[in-house]
């Protein structure tokens, strides 16, 4: 045995196990590891018989500290010189010290992660991202649609693009504080002017930095913008079917519309048009207000044309409508897990149209892997 235990009855019973020792030695501080030494050391150390078991720091008839009396032998230090003060008892390292050390290590690790998160969020040329699920939503509102909406809405914008083919309305996600925004390629493709409205009502002019029609992604940059709230990009590889999600965008020009649902399926093969002529049918002022796409060998919302691209998508039943394209699909911790890109409507008649609960989002990991290409001008330049 490496630890000693005392049996019931070896000490006088006190509610505080050191109460008796404190009463007997009120003038001496109490070391919680050992009973206190005698008030006056003996002039001559007592000589114990050779066959007797040594006592470990006995105190005024309080009994031995030796456990069960058998097994582990207790060693007594050599007697001190007459008149010399009693040696200070050695303090044994116990669990609390090890626990404190472990806590310090954990705190250091958390501190490092926090510093990394701050760097990610404040760097103008760095995307706020998370390889794990970061809690963007305050703990008091965690897991609620209202909490997600309040935390993430400042990072979602409305995009109005104008071209020779007409006007389109879509959405976008702010990824840097100085105004880099991710959206769909079909929202801004072929546009001569791009205007962006933030959640606080401010309007900016934006320029197209890069486009990737094969992934239906685009990067635009606001002019003279600063102090914006960047979104936290999550990890779409961790998304599971049945996860609750929130969608934020500007369907039919209704800025900051929030809907919710679940992840219905993963890795859906969605085919969309890459032709600029088709891109302007999304949102207000063009075509039937629907972005055409193919799924399962069938075409929806019109003809996709001869120039198409296919990508793996997250399927959701969160309500998506024209104008949601380029907006965010968000997990319940406030992380962006997808960019909404296609939605099915059972009819083109506006009097009976409505969400059918079939929406598709580009996984955010696809977006993150394409950012360097988009910042360099994209694959279409």
Is it the case that residue 35 has pLDDT exceeding 50?
Answer: yes
- 354: which 2 tokens? 């409505």
18-32, 239-253, 317-331, 332-346, range with the lowest pLDDT = 18-32
What's the pLDDT at 163? 87
Of 119-128, 290-299, 320-329, 340-349, minimum mean pLDDT range: 119-128
Q: What is the pLDDT of residue 25?
A: 47
CB 186 within 8 A of CB 214: no
The distance from CA 3 to its chain's CA centroid, rounded to whole angstroms, is: 43
- 335 has pLDDT over 50: yes
Alpha-carbon dihedral 347, 308, 381, 278, rounded to 10 degrees: -30
Cite the active site residues: 186, 216, 325
C-alpha–C-alpha distance, residues 189 and 262, integer Å:
30
pLDDT at 221: 98
Residue 64's pLDDT band, with cuts at 50, 70 and 90, is very low
pLDDT digit string, tens, across residues 277-307: 554 444 433 444 566 777 676 677 666 767 7
pLDDT at 179: 97
What tens digit of pLDDT does each residue of 144-194 get? 999 999 999 999 999 999 988 788 899 999 999 999 999 999 899 889 999
Tell me the residue length of the chain: 381
pTM, two decimals, is 0.63
Write down the pLDDT at residue 90: 58
At 21 the pLDDT is 47
Report DSSP letters for 182-201, one per residue. EE-HHHHTT-SEEEEE-TTS
pLDDT score at 61: 44
Cα angle value 369/357/211 (rounded, 5°): 30
Mean confidence (pLDDT) of the chain: 73
DSSP code string of 52-103: SPPPSS--TT-----TTSSSSPPP-PPPPPTTPPPPPPPPPP-HHHHHHHHH
Q: Are strands 244-249 and 217-222 parallel, antiparallel or unpaired?
A: unpaired
Half-sphere exposure of residue 10: CA atoms within 13 angstroms, side-chain side? 14
Mean pLDDT across 24-39: 52
| pLDDT band of 223, cuts 50, 70, 90 | very high
DSSP letter for each residue of 149-181: HHHHGGGEEEEEEEETTEEEEEEEEE-STT-EE
Distance from C-alpha of 163 to C-alpha of 215, rounded to nearest angstrom: 21
Q: Which residue has the higher pLDDT, 80 or 262?
A: 262
Residues 6+ apart with CB under 8 A from 201: none
Lowest pLDDT segment from 54-58, 114-118, 141-145, 230-234: 114-118
Q: What percent of the chain has pLDDT over 70?
A: 54
Alpha-carbon Rg of the chain, whole angstroms?
35
**C-alpha span between 319 and 340 (Å, rounded):** 11
Q: How far is CA 115 from CA 118, 119, 124, 231, in A?
A: 5, 6, 16, 17
| Stronger pLDDT, 163 or 17, i.e. the higher one | 163
Residue 234 clears pLDDT 80, i.e. is over it: yes
Of 63 and 324, which is predicted with more confidence? 324
Helix (H) or strand (E) holding 316: strand 308-316
Predicted pLDDT at 352: 47
The distance in angstroms from the start CA to the end CA of the chain is: 76
Average pLDDT, integer, range 376-380: 84
Non-local (6+) Cβ contacts of 152 within 8 A are: 136, 231, 246, 248, 328, 330, 334, 336
């Amino acid at each position: 045995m490496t630890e000693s235990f005392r049996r019931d009855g070896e000490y006088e019973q006190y509610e505080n196990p050191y109460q008796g020792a404190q009463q007997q030695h009120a003038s001496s501080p109490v070391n919680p590891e050992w009973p206190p030494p005698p008030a006056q050391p003996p002039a001559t150390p007592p000589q114990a018989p050779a066959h007797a078991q040594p006592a470990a720091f006995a105190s005024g008839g309080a009994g031995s500290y030796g456990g069960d009396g058998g097994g582990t032998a207790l060693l007594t230090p050599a007697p001190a010189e007459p008149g010399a003060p009693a040696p200070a008892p050695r303090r044994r390292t116990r669990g609390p010290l090890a626990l404190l050390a472990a806590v310090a290590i954990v705190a250091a690790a958390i501190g490092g992660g926090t510093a990394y998160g701050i760097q990610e969020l404040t760097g103008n040329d760095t995307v706020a991202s998370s390889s794990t699920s970061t809690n963007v939503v305050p703990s008091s509102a965690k897991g609620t649609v209202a909490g997600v909406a309040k935390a993430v809405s400042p990072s979602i914008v409305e995009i109005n693009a104008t071209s020779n083919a007409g006007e389109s309305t879509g959405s976008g996600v702010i990824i840097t504080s100085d105004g880099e925004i991710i959206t769909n390629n079909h929202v801004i493709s072929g546009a001569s002017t791009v205007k962006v409205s933030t959640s606080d009502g401010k309007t900016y002019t934006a320029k197209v930095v890069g486009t990737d029609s094969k992934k239906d992604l685009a990067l635009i940059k606001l002019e003279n913008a600063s102090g914006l709230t960047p979104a936290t990009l999550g990890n779409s590889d961790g998304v599971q079917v049945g996860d609750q999600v929130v969608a934020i965008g500007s369907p039919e020009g209704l800025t900051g519309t929030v809907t919710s649902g679940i992840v219905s399926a993963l890795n859906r093969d969605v085919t969309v048009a890459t032709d600029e002529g088709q891109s302007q049918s999304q949102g207000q002022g063009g075509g039937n207000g629907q972005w055409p796409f193919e799924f399962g060998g069938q075409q929806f919302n019109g003809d996709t044309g001869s120039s198409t691209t296919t990508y793996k998508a997250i399927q959701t039943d969160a309500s998506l409508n024209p104008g949601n394209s380029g907006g965010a699909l968000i997990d319940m911790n406030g992380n962006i897990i997808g960019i909404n890109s296609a939605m099915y409507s059972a009819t083109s008649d506006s009097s009976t149209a409505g969400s059918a609960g079939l929406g598709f989002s580009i996984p955010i990991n696809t977006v993150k892997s394409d950012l360097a290409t988009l910042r360099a001008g994209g694959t279409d330049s």
